[in-house]
Amino acid sequence: AQRVTQPEKLLSVFKGAPVELKCNYSYSGSPELFWYVQYSRQRLQLLLRHISRESIKGFTADLNKGETSFHLKKPFAQEEDSAMYYCALSGARGNQFYFGTGTSLTVIP
Amino acid sequence: KAGVTQTPRYLIKTRGQQVTLSCSPISGHRSVSWYQQTPGQGLQFLFEYFSETQRNKGNFPGRFSGRQFSNSRSEMNVSTLELGDSALYLCASSLVTGSYEQYFGPGTRLTVT
């Protein structure tokens, strides 16, 4: 069965410290993995997708098929990174997305 | 370009009633997906409509239904409301079905008492 697991509901780091938000998935097939972010009082929006292999706002995420993980990383956290982060998976049927329960990141000044 | 709009933004209903939520996608977008967001379960996919046809469906009971009109606007209906249906209902639009570029609306907060 398809599942996305984000083990940390809450994560706090100090400004300038590295941050890693964990995401593990289970899917029988070749999924597409994404990270979505929701800043305070804003709408949910796409942060990055694994296929593009790009860095957005300093964040990167590498798909590890062996460990079925797609952790989100940033070497130096900024206060503006404080937000809710959701890991998501899209299967072969396109727009059927499976989201994790989210991790609330707080960057302490 | 205007974003995705959802109406109403807040709704309070009584158990057993039914409710209809509306979503207007970004102009030109033909795909609309619906999600239920709760603190315990996160976002759960309800269904997706494209060109007035349901293309994908999540694992929700038949009390949850939807439709899409020729102008791509979509409605979601929940019949025989239960307390557990209290949630934030989000819709997202994209140009075509199967696109990862979904644009989310602000959501409708449904409270069932």
pLDDT of B6 above 90: yes
Strand ranges in chain B using DSSP code E only, listed in sequence order: 5-7, 10-13, 19-24, 31-38, 42-50, 53-57, 64-68, 74-78, 87-94, 103-104, 108-112
Whether B95 and chain A come into contact, CB under 8 Å, resolves to: no
pLDDT at position A94: 59
Cis upstream peptide for B8 (omega within 30°): yes
Of B66, B99, B53, give the one whose Cα is nearest residue A96.
B99
- Whether B54 has its CB under 8 Å from any CB of chain A: the answer is no
pLDDT at residue B41, rounded to an integer: 86
pLDDT tens digits along B36-67: 999 888 899 999 999 999 988 888 999 999 99
Query: What pLDDT sits at residue A28?
Result: 81
**pLDDT digits 0-9 by tens, B62-95:** 999 999 999 999 999 999 999 999 999 999 998 8
Q: By CA distance, what is B95's nearest residue in A?
A: A95
Residue among A45, A93, A100 minimizing CB distance to B42? A100
Collect all residues of chain B within an 8 Å Cβ-Cβ radius of residue A44.
43, 90, 92, 104
pLDDT at B1 over 80: no
pLDDT at B56: 85
Residue B84 φ then ψ, to 5° = -70, -5
Residue positions counted in chain B: 113
**What are the average pLDDT values for consecutive 10-residue runs of chain A, which has 109 residues?**
90 97 90 92 90 84 91 96 94 74 96
| Nearest CB partner across the interface for A96, out of B3, B56, B94 | B56
